[in-house]
A and B are shown apart, each in its own frame.
Chain A
């Protein structure tokens, strides 16, 4: 009996009790725990130097900045799963700005899977495909993007804190969102036509010259 008691007079018993306490606490305070996670997420948010690099047409993200961008959006996906599409879209944008087009493409695919009614994911993937001379795919992406109701995209942006933070960092107003979409749809039509043309005439000037359009967030 004494031996059995001696086994329980060890620190491991405290560990077990602590584990039970912590589990009960977190299970009964899920909302508070989620709030704590969101607080930490806001502290991880990317600083102005990132958005300046992203907003600039010739801006570039170095490896360190890319790592922070990817890490932050990964955490957004983990803590706010219903914002996964937004996080993938912005992750893709970071990859693109770090000259990692293949990874950007993969991320846009995941964004489309998470939210098939977001114009910019298709548009950006179409641009990437066109630059990679994958004209069939590019045409398909632009066609699918044009099929998305622009109001769905506008609503998705305006209801997402992730995007609103970016909007603020880019010093854009909400009306820029619809303006951007109008321009985007117009470009997408042109790019779809160009993609179909380039399928047949891959050596034409239009297919080899630098693109007048680039990927966009909004």
Chain B
């Protein structure tokens, strides 16, 4: 069927207004895109990890190890955090290839992803209400809320976007059991499984599964029968979907397992005095768990309602939403509203530990509640979008009332005047309100008076334009304050793009690293650590066993500070058990990337090849964290890799020339990650293609 512009401009003009809304949003936050305003907090580290990942991918490597972080750490933690398998990251690669700066490429990718999320939200609302005006209202309220600003200081959108699309595909699939909707459910679940800590999403999904049957018990049978029929008709697709979901759960499972081994440390989440290998780093301590929840987030955000102090990390919803809440009081109570309130109420209670002890109960009885904190995230992931859905419901009912022949114009008009008058009175009483807020109220008054008293009408450009103007006028002012108040961030620590020079690594806490490196970092002083890390490689004539159960810090300090020619290795089989006395009097030899006797031939994130040439047998220590998934090959043959100097990698070298290669992870692991990335990409775009094909089919 040919694409008809006239048809698009008249019947589908809501898309023009959505596109305009996107343009307005970019204009509001252009300072961030231009690099004038910096990213802050978590957004900064996510930006760095994402662009490093993108850069490494373009070089043909899947970075399973991060050399820059805390002197080496498995990168799976960061890859999981950013959701590295998400196909949208390739957009950043594309923008970079077109000449964009790192920050512009990253933010443009994120902005487009956010827009895609909002399109998903609009389509979800359309599915629920079959009403462009209601869908548009809900969408622009959410779009201009502070949710979008979280891309500049957090990472929430990488979860919110696929979550919105998941619910869209779920609703669409329930209404029309089509293959591309089913694949959409699978792909969004895969993205959610492989992003950050999937327990937030798991909890939301479980909550949905519990609440939905309570409200829609009568329809549940038909829905499940429909799913069953689809499964019977499309067995292969369902099996493929199940396999893909299982495949997507592997990275999280591997990370979980790695953390449980105790080989990694996350001191900020979990303070431990246990020896490495004895604790689960992913578990969250009580203070970290409960220090900030939903009430705190709402209360804190309320301090900034005067807007001139507005900054990032604050909850903000356009004032129009509160007008809709007031008008919604006269809307009929139906099943949908009850569902939204129950579903939202459950998570409000869960995210507010002092309201009811639901969180405490789940923490005690559900294992994975020990692995996440930041309860206020439920406010952003679920409650805010659900609130926008509720507003769409109110708008839908208002317009439905308007279409009803029994509609009482004067009654509704009086209600509109009372509500708006009361809100203006409230604003005047409070003082300190923004001009945008007043304009919103006035604009809304005009809009709803026209709805109340005008003739019957169909959705038109005038309605969408009016709604966009009314909703966006206040955020336009609020975000001008935000841009003005977002000052330059002062970086005090090392980061991916600025790895710490050896001398600057001191006894300050690390965020994430190998448990043994953390052990060293917490116990040794800055001078000792700084002196030791002058060299990337250290070559010793002798080794001694290091007793893990009785750590002799004095000995460690002595050996490190004086660069004594004895390396310490973890207990194990040693070729030469006795230390030669002369080693105590000599210094070890230190190297950077090259020196007399040692040269780095090449390196990738997961490998490093060096050439050595020493006249006698030597023990080489590579000052990159030890991990059991590292292997070492000397002249092409697998050799024993020792945990040396407490936390690093060590290997014996025979006299003469040797080519030493350190490799992280078996090939199968890398191949699996690449396969998962490829599968997600294929299905991501396949959904779009199938959907396009389906839309062109005659009805």
Contact = CB atoms under 8 A, between A and B. Distances in A.
B332 A9 contact: yes
A71 B309 contact: yes
A44 B299 CA distance: 12
Nearest to B333: A9
B309 A67 contact: yes
Interface residues of A, number: 23
Contacts of A33: 295, 354
A36 B329 contact: no
Interface string B278-318: 00000000000001110110011001000011000000000
Given A14-B341, A71-B303, A75-B303, A36 B331 contact: no
B299 A40 contact: yes
B333 A36 contact: no
B337 A11 contact: yes
Given A10-B329, A15-B329, A67-B309, A39 B291 contact: yes
Nearest to A16: B329
B292 A39 contact: yes
Interface string A59-85: 000001001100100010000000000
A37 interface: yes
B303 A40 contact: yes
Interface string A1-16: 0000000011111110
Contacts, number: 52
A37 B299 CA distance: 7
B303 A10 contact: no
B213 to A, nearest CB: 21
Interface in B304-353: 308-309, 328-333, 337, 341
A98 B597 CA distance: 63
A58 interface: no
A12 B332 CA distance: 9
A25 to B, nearest CB: 5
Contacts of A67: 308-309
A209 interface: no
B310 to A, nearest CB: 12
Contacts of B293: 36
Contacts of B329: 10-12, 15
Contacts of B333: 9-11, 13-14
Contacts of A14: 333, 337, 341
A36 B341 contact: no
A200 interface: no
B352 to A, nearest CB: 8
B41 to A, nearest CB: 13
Contacts of A12: 329-330
Contacts of B300: 40, 43-44
A25 B355 contact: yes
Contacts of A15: 329
B143 to A, nearest CB: 24
Interface of B: 291-293, 295-296, 299-300, 303, 308-309, 328-333, 337, 341, 354-355, 394, 485
30 contacts: A9-B332, A10-B331, A11-B329, A11-B330, A11-B331, A11-B332, A11-B333, A11-B337, A12-B329, A12-B330, A13-B333, A14-B341, A15-B329, A29-B354, A32-B354, A35-B354, A36-B296, A36-B354, A39-B296, A40-B296, A40-B299, A40-B303, A43-B300, A44-B300, A44-B303, A64-B485, A67-B308, A67-B309, A71-B303, A75-B303
